[in-house]
Amino acid sequence: MAIDISDNAINEVRRMMEKEKVDAAGLRVGVKGGGCSGLSYNLSFETQSRTGDKVFEREGVRLFCDLKSYIYLNGTVLDYDSGLMGKGFVFMNPNAKKSCGCGSSFST
C-alpha cells in the first residue's frame, strides 16, 4: 500500500510553497507521540528525503515518510478541507481506531 494525497491537498501544498517561497523537495508526513488520543500527525516541508524514507509522488508533489511513521500511516490519504468549519489538512487513516474531535491525533 502507500500514502496518497488528494487533488485538494496537492493544490494546497503548491499554494503554500509558492506563497511562503519554500524551496522544498517535498512534504514530510509523520507521526509522533502526544496529542489527545496518544499519537499526533506531523507535517513539514523538507529539502530532501532521508535515508530509509518511503517516498510517494503524485502530480509532482512528493511525500516523505520515515519507516516508523509508515507503520501507522500505510493506506492513509492526505486531504485538504476548506469548509465552513475551518481549513486544514485532514488525514483519512484506515489504521486509526480512535481519534480526537479535531482530527489531529489518533490511537491504534
pLDDT digits (tens, 9 = 90+) for 8-42: 999 999 999 998 888 889 999 999 876 565 788 89
pLDDT digits (tens, 9 = 90+) for 82-94: 876 678 998 999 9
What is the rounded CA–CA span in Å between residue 76 and residue 25?
A: 21
Q: Which CATH class is domain 4-97?
A: mainly beta
pTM: 0.84
Cα separations in angstroms, 91 against 8, 19, 28, 42, 69: 13, 23, 13, 10, 13
Boundaries of every domain in the chain: 4-97
